[in-house]
Structures are given as structure tokens and as C-alpha cells.
Amino acid sequence: MNIILLGPPGAGKGTQARRLEVERDMIQLSTGDMLREARSSGTEMGERVAAIMDAGQLVTDEIVIGLIEEKLRGDRAGGFIFDGFPRTLAQADALSEILAKHDATLDAVVEMRVDDAALVERIVARSTCANCGEVYNDITKPIPDDGKCTNCGGTEFKRRADDNAEALTTRLMEYYKKTSPLIGYYYAKDQLRPVDGLGEIDAVAQSISAVLQETS
């Protein structure tokens, strides 16, 4: 089963994708993570996109489509979770072409609905484990008192360079201008499955499970 998690920054796509990986043996494909990796390993492409990412803008379709194409050639396990991709109509068209080329289908587009005030609150409070990427939130899921990651025991935590109020405004604007048209696009294809993304992590996970159950 291949699915897209669609929603604005801070909707909880990464958190839910990580759960689906564990529970359903699926593979999370986060273009944001791939781009951050390219930056930290100092590739030429990583250097080219750094300033764009820090400002909260979208990098070119060509770059992210290339990253996804490469990953789809590898192991497919229980299917892919597209997290943060597609973000434009051109990316959505490219994804259907790439999947068709691999004789694969897109089974559901899970739209994670949250309100803007909640997004800002979530994002400025967000940090991740530097070792395994587990996501924490100062309010809803604080780093444990012993300073150790609950997932891997790591002791270093980091905040993203683009998780600040200024970049967030741009990221939200990019979402509404370029990504939100995908809601209509997938609705018209009868693939859109909205879930309430505002609840507790477990409750949202259950809603997503119910959607995937219906689809399979």
C-alpha cells in the first residue's frame, strides 16, 4: 500500500509516518529529511538548497522529484508513505507517472486537518532527537527528565533552523499557495481521506488506521 500524508507544516505528518513504519512495515519517504541529509553531508545539491529551506520556501520540483525517483527504485517493503511530497501539482503529476512506471498504485491520500493557531504552537515548541529523529514537543511530549530519548536513549536534541516564526510564515504561505490545491486534485480523483489531525498522537494514529483499513 502506498499513501501520501498531506497537510501543512506541523500537522504531524512525520510523527505519524514513523508510527506507520513500525506498525505496518512501510517506508517513510520524507523529502524534507532527504534534503536535510544532503545538506549535512555537504553535497553540492545540499548546499544549493540550504538558503531556500532556511527561508521556508520550496525547492525546485526537479530536485525533489529526482530524490523520490531514486528511492522508488529500492526496497518497497509494505509500501511507501510519502511525507512532505508532493507539494505542488507538478510533483503530484510526476508521482503518478513514476508509480505507473513501477506498476504501483497510490492507495490513499490522508489529509491531516489542523488549524493554523495549533500549527504555530506546535512548530515553535518542536525538537527532535539528533540520533534517531524522534519528535518531541515542549508542551505535549517533552524530552524526559533524565534527558534521554525514549526511542534510542540519545542525549542530544536539536531544533530545526526553519522552525522559527519568520520562516514559518513563509512555509504556511507556500503551503496555501502551492500545496493546498492538491486537496482538490486528490478529491477529484476520489483518493482524498481527511482525518482530524488535532487530537492526541494515538487518536490521530487510530483515525489513519481506520482509513487504511477501509482502503485495503
Q: Which three cell numbers stand for residue 195?
A: 482525518
Binding to ligand AMP (CB under 6 A): which residues in 1-20? 9
Min dist CB 63 to ligand AMP, Å, is 8
Number of residues near ligand AMP (by CB under 6 A) = 17
Q: Which is nearer to ligand AMP, 18 or 171 (CB)?
A: 171
> Strands, DSSP E only, in the chain?
3-6, 27-30, 80-83, 108-113, 126-129, 135-137, 157-158, 192-196
Min dist CB 196 to ligand AMP, Å, is 21
Instruction: Look up 13 and say whether it is catalytic.
Output: yes
* CB of 83 closer than 8 Å to CB of 30: yes
**Of 48-56, 69-77, 92-100, 190-198, which part binds ligand AMP (CB under 6 A)?**
48-56
CA dihedral 55, 58, 63, 68 (to 10 degrees): 120
**Whole-angstrom distance, CA of residue 12 vs CA of residue 81:** 13
Kindly state whether residue 123 participates in binding ligand AMP, applying the rule CB under 6 A: no
**Whole-angstrom distance, CA of residue 161 vs CA of residue 53:** 9
Cβ–Cβ contacts within 10 Å for residue 18, how many?
19
Catalytic residue, chosen from 18, 19, 36, 87, is 87
Helix axes 13-24, 201-215, angle to 10 degrees: 60
Which residue from 18, 87, 122, 126 is in contact with ligand AMP, where contact means CB under 6 A?
A: 87
Min dist CB 170 to ligand AMP, Å, is 8
- Binding track over 66-85 against ligand AMP, x by CB under 6 A: ------------------xx
* CB of 196 closer than 8 Å to CB of 204: yes
**Kind and range of the H or E element at 78?**
none
Instruction: Look up 19 and say whether it is catalytic.
Output: no
Tell me if residue 44 falls in helix, strand or coil. Answer: helix
Min dist CB 86 to ligand AMP, Å, is 6
Q: Which residues are catalytic?
A: 13, 87, 126, 160, 171
Residues that bind ligand AMP (CB under 6 A): 9, 31-32, 35, 52-53, 56-59, 64, 84-85, 87, 91, 162, 171
